Homo-oligomer: A and B are copies of this chain.
Amino acid sequence: MKDFPEITNKLLAAKKEKGITFADLEKAVGRDEVWIASVIYRQASADKEEAQKILSALGLESDLLTEQLTEPPLKGSLDSSIPTDPLIYRFYEIMQVYGMPVKSVVHEKFGDGIMSAIDFTFDVEKVEDPKGDRVRMIMEGKFLPYKKW
């Protein structure tokens, strides 16, 4: 399995041992579970209070760990440039298949620019369906128009 930072492994182990879900952490911290998972995988940085709440929920209060969770991380958590894990690969496939159509629709709706991946939120919801539950992923980012100068 892939090498995650030591702190990630430590938090995930505590989370597993205590039987705490990301949804539990969402309630304890007051932030979305995807964002909290991102902090744990060291793809996002918490502020001091948020870090303490995460650690406290996991029974891992520590100044050192708090500090580590507040540091801006080096982002990008995948080993190879094209991911092999089927769940993650599907994002890559979506980009390959729907990238150009979505680009056209966005430009038509908004003009030349992009959806920010920084001023951005990502929610994951379960949509119950008798024919098989569905995963709904809602990505929302500020539209950034290209500046002219």
Query: Using a CB–CB distance below 8 Å, which chain A residues touch chain B?
Result: 1-2, 4-5, 12, 16, 21-23, 31-35, 37-38, 40-46, 50, 67, 72-78, 80-124, 126-127, 129, 131-149
Contacts and interface: CB of A to CB of B under 8 A. Distances in A.
B100 A77 contact: yes
B118 A86 contact: yes
A104 B147 contact: no
22 contacts: A22-B105, A31-B149, A34-B101, A41-B100, A72-B107, A72-B112, A75-B96, A77-B97, A78-B95, A78-B99, A85-B103, A102-B124, A109-B126, A115-B134, A115-B135, A116-B144, A133-B143, A134-B140, A135-B140, A136-B140, A137-B140, A138-B138
Given A72-B111, A76-B84, A135-B143, 5 more contacts: A41-B104, A44-B97, A72-B113, A76-B83, A116-B118
A115 B100 contact: no
Q: Would you call the interface of chain A mostly helix, strand, loop, or mixed? A: mixed
Copies in the complex: 10
B90 A76 contact: no
